[in-house]
Structure 1
Amino acid sequence: MSLSRWVVVGYARSEGFGRNIYKVTGNTDINTDSSSFSSMADMSLTFTPKRSMVYVNFSASGTMDKGGNSDAQGYAAFRMMNGATQIAGTTTIATDRSFSVSGSGGIAFYDSGGKSSNYFDNETITSTYNPVNPADKVSVSFSFFNTESTFDGLMIYNGPNASFPLLSSGSNYNYYACPNGAYTGTGLYSAQGKTFTSTDASGALTFVFTSDTNTRRAGWEASVTSSIAGPPTSGYSLDTAWNTGFTMYPVQVTPGVETIISIQWLRDGNPGLPKVLRNNVNTNRQRSHRNLTIID
């Protein structure tokens, strides 16, 4: 025979919550570009309460997008309204991180002598450029190129090392410091004015330069950039998520009198901060939503 005892440590009074539930869900993409409060689309309920206290649940999430290719951080403020009276407020933060992936800039790529000196004799130098982001492709553009023709050559490989396919110049000197396919000299097989873009899955390019025992030249000057595969683009943005809400927030009302509970929002008004805070309900359901529920 066993004896069981139950001890009540707490309980919820069900009579404190009504059986009437009013609910609305946002089903359109919305944004705000205002530093003054305005109504949040679909976030309003009109009802006639049966009790003197109702409980409000509100939740919303979305992303922040400043637009353009620049970094930003900002805030969105939300407030709950009973008619024209504010009864609660909250603020959320989000960031918009943008990365430049193409353009006239880039990393300078020189021979061993740098911008103003000749390269050295008896060199074998390997340089590999990898994209920061996996989806990107490295491009290298040569604005100047001058090596000892036939005897000092630059080999370019479509991948992260010299075992990958050669991007050949078409030369066929077959010299130890200027193998077949090397870029060399200032004429037909020069790299000057040419741009090389990786098509390898890694997005990388590898350069191997070899010089022989004598006769040095000015070398080369090039710019290394990284661009997204596919159509040209000037940048892309990483728009981070935000979320906010109220849970079982008690609101005093007058029984039998029509009541309007609504949500308003604004963006942070400081200069330089984001223009748009977006709630992508249709296009990104897994992380964006907004709904308002009232329990009477």
Structure 2
Amino acid sequence: MADLLTVQDLWIEFTSKRGTVKAVNGVDFSLRKGKTTGIVGESGSGKSVTVKSIAGLLARNAKVTGGSIDFEGCNLLSLKEKQIQAIRGNKISMVFQDPNSFMNPTISVGKQVMEPLLFHSVCSRKEAKERAIDMLAQVGIPSPAVRFNEYPFEYSGGMLQRALIAMALINDPTLLIADEPTTALDVTVQAQILFLLKKMKETRDMSMILVTHDLIVAAQICDEIVVMYGGMVVERAETQTFLKRRAHPYSIGLLASTPRVDASIERLKPIEGSPPDLRGALPQGCLFAPRCPYRTERCTAERPPLQQIGPNHQVACWQAESEVAVS
């Protein structure tokens, strides 16, 4: 199956008064057509920065210093802003984690949902309204013709996230990027939104990237898991392979610190220590080494490359072939 998206050796840094932050450091991953990839990691691991670079939504103080992002045979990093705008919201759409901060409170929800159709000159205003009402119905909003004219403050958090999904899907994108889409929602609504995303992805035959800090969430709807730490990919595997034999100590720690209903664990095991400070020069060794219970002298002296340890399974760890691996 052909790859829809290939991110290769991507480097991104931010300039600030406190120094240069190396947010993304040589990220590599690909997404096959019709599949879902989950990007997992703690806050500050580089997940959101990576996917925002795909959609061309990096902050002004961000700079891509290396690498390529190939989408449908075109390097997105080589395009001008007007060319990116023709793709963003059309072929590539994003769902953000906080719809309240994304939606304009002074414009009705329906008008905002139909905006991508008008921006990309897909159809007339009359047809755009009809399609927006239909899209609101598809994402599960009751009485869509009535709710079309209501404002964001009249929607619940879950309904507003559904409207945001409707806006992202109205142009039938090839790729949907969902950046922590359930973070601001309660557990019941989270499950509904995840089910909706999975259903929409399948019925529309599109590809999806799901960004989350929750491995359990990623395992439920993703075909592949990409684990990031310190702006780097430390493990990448098909979901079933990952669940059976996650091999990086950070991946093992993430799952051990996640509440599960299918396991009788008396106490969760947090990962000791803090994420690395990405300002200034990066250390020579593995960025996870200061927090790793399996570290050796080699780990602190030499950074491990992302290497193949099995079919469709890559790990950046010197100990991956030893007792660290989980069966």
| TM-score tier after normalising by the smaller chain length | under 0.3
Normalising by structure 1, report the TM-score. 0.23
Normalising by structure 2, report the TM-score. 0.22
Query: Which structure is richer in relative contact order (CA contacts within 8 A, separation 6 or more)?
Result: 1
State which structure, 1 or 2, has the greater radius of gyration over its C-alpha atoms. Answer: 1
Richer in helix (by share): 2
Richer in strand (by share): 1
